[in-house]
Amino acid sequence: MASDDRWLIRDARIVALTTPADPEPVDLLIERGRVTRIASRLEAPGARRLAADGRWLIPGLWDQHVHMAQWAQTRGRVDLSATRSPAEVLERVAAALPTWAAAVVIGFGYRSAGWSTQPTVSQLDAITGDRPVVLVSGDAHNGWLNSAALSLLGVAARDEVLDEAQWFPVWARLGELARDPAGEHTAYADAVRDAAGRGIVGITDMELADGVPAWQERFASGIDQLRVRIATYEDTLDRVLARGLRTGDPIAGTAGRAVMGPLKVITDGSLNTRTAYCCQPYADDPSNRGTLNISGAQLTDLMTQAHAHGLRVAAHAIGDAALTSALDAFTASGAHGSIEHAQLVALADVRRMADLGIIASVQPAHLLDDREVTHALWPDRTHRCFILRTMLRQGVQLALGSDAPVAPLDPWLAMAAAVHRSPDAREPWNAAESLTPAEALAASTDGAGAVALGSLADLVLLDRNPLQAQHALEPQDVHERQDDSAAAAALLRGLDAVVTMVGGRITHAEPCLDLH
């Protein structure tokens, strides 16, 4: 993915984020993948030219938490979203079976936390017979398989769904079922092209499989439009250490666009499977506080090993008790990294995160899905969920993402959810925890700030100013300006990239653009 040598961008308006920017249109010269000159008028003989015509320029967007294989394949799966019971899921599967071409039927998107009864293998067997069927929950923390699929994947017969430690090894193997290399390549190519169209220049890929050889193969096949940080898990950590890779090291064969990412550790479960590990029990089950997938001592040992070998750690923690355990391990090990999700947070732990320099890698679109189930299962702690403003105010760095396929790979949706915490006409959920549009955008650009001299030429050109609905009130007054936040969110949701550039190479351009 070699960058184009030189570009002259004419008449672009730089959007001010964390640093000031000239409000008037300027010209920018791109050379060797960086912004080398900015002025009101530039001449650059021999450079290719892009006429911005007064459009708005921002740093390229990052999604800091993606399961790329699952996201790429989601569009080829039975859609189970918005189902309200096992019976509704079974109806959709039964309707899909006659026309489903693949030998193994895979569905995605059911959310069982609010169901009065939980699904069983025998229910699925009754409509599917001997044809293997795998259904993945919308939060990806459990799987509902029929007996044929259990047998195919070598899982002992059972009548319950698989979740957490039982489920994740199975989820990682879904790609083995009736592999279609050509179809997989097309799915990845489409997903990466769509991401570039939304202004995404980079992702952190949290896929469970060994991502280094997989991404080397994708880059070699021409799927090279994104920067990728490749996470590893405990079961593939030995391979990473054997390769001598540290976080940030470039991956051979990717022209430096793919680098080693963090060690990912899933310390607890999720709200929708009632497995997020909490300090207090779930409202509907006094005996259940969720599931801690790894003890504090084991987590500390694992973080210590990662830190000693130059790897950052991304610790999944959705429940407040899991987050406390993860922070204890960060403290004891000296490791650096992030809390992934940070959905339910003990207020005392916010300051600990800030003091330790731990990033809150959050997915705001989840709050749109989890509002009702939170009030049902955590009614006494809803005020401590998705506390974005509290974390930012106390000095915690925010990094936004999607957790695709749990939410769409769409940074504008994530930003809109962070700004106006409601998907519909209802009042925002905990409006005081909203971000301003500028804050949400800054948390989506990998710390780049405004485009400036020396900036990496990972750039996005927009038809509209994403901050034009930025309200005049101070951030702490956000609860008084719901109409403004709704307008700002609507604007953000309606944005897509006109041009996306990665390292000086255009990875997406609308046909209307004057490029020569």
Say if residue 131 is in the same domain as residue 211.
Answer: no
- Together in a domain, 315 and 381: yes
> Quick one: 87 and 210 in the same domain?
no
Directed axis angle between helix 86-96 and helix 121-128, to 10°?
A: 30
Are 296 and 278 in a shared domain? yes
Q: Is 338 in the same domain as 245?
A: yes
- Chain segment 265-308, per-residue pLDDT in tens: 999 999 999 999 999 999 999 999 999 999 999 999 999 999 99
Same domain, 135 and 235: no
Is residue 146 within 8 A of residue 189, CB to CB? The reply is no
The reply to whether 507 and 491 lie within a common domain is no
CA-to-CA separations, 470 to 32, 387, 478, in angstroms, rounded = 34, 20, 11
**Does 250 share its domain with 349?**
yes
- Where residue 253 sits, what CATH number does that domain have? 3.20.20.140
CATH of the domain at 30: 2.30.40.10
Answer for the pair 337, 287: CB distance below 8 angstroms, yes or no: no
In a domain, 391, yes or no: yes
Dump the DSSP string for 86-129.
Answer: HHHHHHHHHHHGGG--SSSEEEEEE--TT-SS---HHHHHHHHT
Amino acid identity of residue 18, one-letter, is T
Residue 459: inside a domain: no
Model pLDDT, residue 483:
66
| CA dihedral angle for residue 406, residue 407, residue 408, residue 410, rounded to 10 degrees | -140
DSSP string of 450-504?
S--TT-BS-EEEESS-TTTT--SS-GGGGGG-HHHHHHHHHHHHT---SEEEETT
Amino acid type, 265 = V
Number of domains in the chain: 3
Q: Rounded CA gap, 327 and 301, in Å?
A: 13
Residues 262 and 337: beta-carbon distance below 8 Å = yes
Same domain for 341 and 204, yes or no, is yes
Q: Is position 125 within any domain?
A: yes
R_g of the chain, CA atoms, integer Å: 23
Q: Is residue 344 part of a domain?
A: yes
> Among residues 150, 176, 202, which one ends one of the domains?
176
94 falls within a domain: yes
The CATH number for 89's domain is: 3.10.310.70
Scan for tokens 């497995």, then name that residue.
275
Is residue 352 helix, strand or coil? Answer: helix
Q: Cα–Cα distance between 60 and 459 in angstroms, integer?
A: 5
**Any bridge partners for residue 396, and if so which?**
none
In this structure, is residue 114 part of a structural domain? yes
Domain boundary among 122, 150, 176: 176
Partner residues linked to 339 by β-bridges: 315, 360
Question: Does one domain contain both 296 and 163?
Answer: no
What does the pLDDT read at residue 473?
A: 41
Residue 466 falls within a domain, yes or no?
Answer: no
Q: Spell out, as residue ranges, where the chain has pLDDT lower than 70.
A: 1-4, 178-179, 470-483, 514, 516
Domain interval for residue 101: 71-176
Report which of 501, 441, 434 is spatially closest to residue 465, judged by C-alpha positions.
441
Residue 152 lies in a domain: yes
Boundary-marking domain end, from 125, 148, 176: 176
Is residue 55 domain-shared with residue 142, that is, in the same domain? no
- What per-residue confidence (pLDDT) applies to 477? 53
E strands, 104-199, are: 105-110, 133-137, 142-145, 162-163
Q: Same structural domain for residues 53 and 137?
A: no
